Copies of this chain bind each other. A is one copy, B any other.
Amino acid sequence: MHKTVTLDMAESILEANRGLALQNRALFKGHGVRAFDFLGAVGSGKTMLIERLQELLEARGQRVGAIAGDVAGDDDHRRFLAAGIASENLNTGKDCHLDAHMVGHALERMDLDLVDVVFIENVGNLVCPADFPLGAEKRVVVISTTEGDDTVRKHPLIFRDADVCVLNKADLAEPVGVDMDVIERDFRTINNHAPFIRTCARTGEGVDRLLEALLD
C-alpha cells in the first residue's frame, strides 16, 4: 500500500518537475540565453570547469551566469562571483538534487538580459539528479579520473542520458593508475551520441573542445 502511494506521488513530482523544466527552458529561450546543466560527484571538478569556460567565453565577449547548487554552504557561489560570473546560490538543505522549481526561483533573481550563457551546477551526486531535468539545453556529466575506472558501470542511467560526458583530471590518471580508455569504452557501450571529452580543468587542457561541444 505504502509503496503504491509513494510511487504515484513520486511520479506526480517528476511530472510537475518536467513541466517546470519546460518553463525554465522557454524563459532561457525568450532571453536568448544558452543554458547547460553540470552533473557529477563531489570533487569531479564541475566548478573549476565552469571557471575555465567563463574565461573562454569572456574572451569572446560572452557574459556568463551560474547557479551554484549544493546541499549547504556557498563555496562554489563565492568562487563564481570571484571569477566575474553572475552567480545565484542554491542550497537544497537535505535534498540530493536541484529541481526545476528551485532553479526557476533562482532565475527570477538573475537578470537574464545581462547574460548570454548560464551554467547550472547541480549537487554533487551521480544518482538523484538524473531524474530531474532543469530546463537546460544540454546535460553535461563530469567524471574525475580519481574516482577509479568503474564510475560509468556503477551509474548507467545518468550516463545514458548525458548530452556531453567529460573525463576530468586527466593529468591524475597515471598517478592513480586509471586507464581512461576503459572509462571511454564503458561510456560508449551505453551512450553512442554524446561527445566524450578528456579535460584537465587545472591547466585548461581540453576545455576549448568542451566549449565547442556545448555550443555545437
Contacts and interface: CB of A to CB of B under 8 A. Distances in A.
B9 A96 contact: no
B73 A153 contact: yes
Interface string A52-89: 00000000000000000011110110000000000000
Nearest to A3: B13
Q: Most B CB atoms within 10 A — which of A124, A153, A176?
A: A124
Question: Copy number of this protein in the oligomer?
Answer: 2
A138 interface: no
A125 B43 CA distance: 12
Interface residues of A, number: 40
A176 to B, nearest CB: 7
Given A9-B9, A43-B151, A70-B154, A146 B124 contact: no
A104 to B, nearest CB: 16
Contact of A148 (B43, B131, B155, B176): B43
A144 interface: yes
A150 to B, nearest CB: 4
Contacts of A150: 73, 75-76
Interface of A: 2, 5-6, 9, 12-13, 41-43, 70-73, 75-76, 94-96, 123-128, 131, 144, 146-148, 150-151, 153-157, 169, 172, 175-176
Closest 3 CB pairs of A and B: A43-B147, A96-B127, A146-B146
